[in-house]
Chains A and B, each alone.
Chain A
Amino acid sequence: MYAIIVGAGEVGRYLGRELLGMGNEVLLIERDHRICEELGDELGSVSLCGDGCEVALLAKAGIARADIFIAVTDQDDDNLAASQIAKQKFGVPQVIAKVNNPKNEHIFAKLGIDDTVDRVSLVLEHIKLLIPMFPLIRLLNLKERGLDVVLVRVAEDSSAIGKSLRDLSLPSGSVACLTIRQGQECRVPEPGTTLEAGDQLVCLISSGSEEEVVQAIGGVSANQRPE
């Protein structure tokens, strides 16, 4: 497989290294001469120095035969321009862009770039996973299906404690897939499973129903929490 990566920052470099390690053909396009030299020393001749949004440079990079194109610079406008050219001008089969400002994600989608990775939200969710006060954490977003895999926590003061799963008014389309209880093995829950304080549930929910899920588990969401 031939992969072109635009932007040899941390993400670009680690990805390049992994793809190379799996035996793929990789080209990293980077503006900074010094970074290109470092790449040469480390990985061999896998980099091209220049602007990854320039049509002539991309043509020279053999973009027409690329199987996958990944734009991971720190500038959203660069990532958008590069991925639009790759997808819409050269027809690269798979195009992925990093989005640095979460507010730009829907703009990318509107402009034809659906496969995006929202850097800030990813880090945020991982931090929230480590702080018990957050009632719901998004573990995985299955965009094309409109589904999210989330982790929900049953708080100490939750009104759902002692209730069974079948008595909770989870929004339609939501399924609890796994219960995680302190000191016990993880279990696939049954409708009769009763909740205890401190339980964590891994649920599959439809995107946008986070608020309802938090309420059903008897928690208080960030939006309702008094200042």
Chain B
Amino acid sequence: MNVTIMGCGRVGAELAHLLDAEGHRVTIVDTDSSSFDKLPPDFGGTALLGRATDEEGLERTNIRECDAFVAVTREDDKNAMAAQIAKEIFNVPRVICRVYDPLREEFYDSLGLEAISPTGLFARLIKEKLEK
């Protein structure tokens, strides 16, 4: 699988590492070069410095050959905008984006994105654990 990840925070870097270790082709983009320090030394994918929240920025990643696009920067609006451009302009088959605002998760889902709210997800996980 060919995957582009926007945002090399803890989640982005860990996901890039996991996918890379399984032999997937990974491109990870971030606007801060020091964020790539979180990638393991043996990371075999591409780390790209730059924006991915507009059409030109996305074009510079391998977005056209991408099977999946994952937006996990710290900002909901950036994630949502990049994810929608990936989906509607570049027709990426699978687009996943993180939104912290749990009330927006459903809204972006209705727009055809696979939105994940860590807030809601984490709360559900803890609840499940407690109920065991």
Name A residues whose Cβ lies closer than 8 Å to a Cβ of B.
Answer: 53-56, 75-78, 80-81, 84-85, 88-89, 101, 103-104, 107, 110-111
- Interface pairs (27), CB distance under 8 Å: A53-B77, A53-B101, A55-B104, A56-B103, A76-B53, A76-B54, A76-B81, A77-B78, A77-B81, A80-B77, A80-B80, A80-B81, A81-B76, A81-B77, A81-B80, A81-B81, A84-B80, A85-B107, A88-B107, A88-B111, A101-B54, A103-B54, A103-B55, A107-B84, A107-B88, A110-B88, A110-B89
Contact of B77 among A77, A88, A101, A103 (CB under 8 A): A77
CB atoms of B53 and A55 under 8 A apart: no
- Secondary structure at the B interface, as helix, strand, loop or mixed, is helix
Closest Cβ of chain A: how far from B68's Cβ, in Å? Answer: 20
Interface residues of chain A: helix, strand, loop or mixed (majority) = helix
- Chain B nearest CB: distance from A162 CB in Å? 45
Chain B window 67-92, contacts with chain A (Cβ cutoff 8 Å), 1 for yes, 0 for no? 00000000111101110110011000
Q: Number of residues in B with C-beta < 8 Å to the partner?
A: 21
Q: Check A89–B89 contact: CB distance below 8 A.
A: no
- Whether A78 lies near B77 (C-beta < 8 A) is yes
> Do residues B89 and A107 form an inter-chain contact, with CB atoms below 8 A?
yes
Residue from B76, B77, B88 in contact with A111 in the complex, judged by beta carbons closer than 8 Å: B88
Closest CB in chain A relative to B114 CB, distance in Å: 17
A77 to B101, Cβ gap below 8 A? no
Alpha-carbon distance between A76 and B85 when the two chains are bound, in angstroms: 13
Q: Is B22 an interface residue (CB 8 A)?
A: no
Which chain B residues lie closer than 8 Å to A75 at the CB level? 77
Minimal beta-carbon separation of B72 from chain A (angstroms) = 15
Q: Tell yes or no: B42 within 8 A of A by CB.
A: no
Q: Considering the chains assembled together, what is the distance between the CA atoms of A110 and B104 in angstroms?
A: 20
Cross-chain contact of A107 among B85, B104, B107 (Cβ < 8 A):
B85
CB neighbours of B77 from chain A (8 A): 53, 75, 77-78, 80-81
Query: Is B56's CB within 8 Å of the partner chain A?
Result: yes
- A85 adjacent to B78 (CB under 8 Å): no
With known contacts A75-B77, A80-B81, A107-B55, A89–B88 Cβ distance under 8 A: no
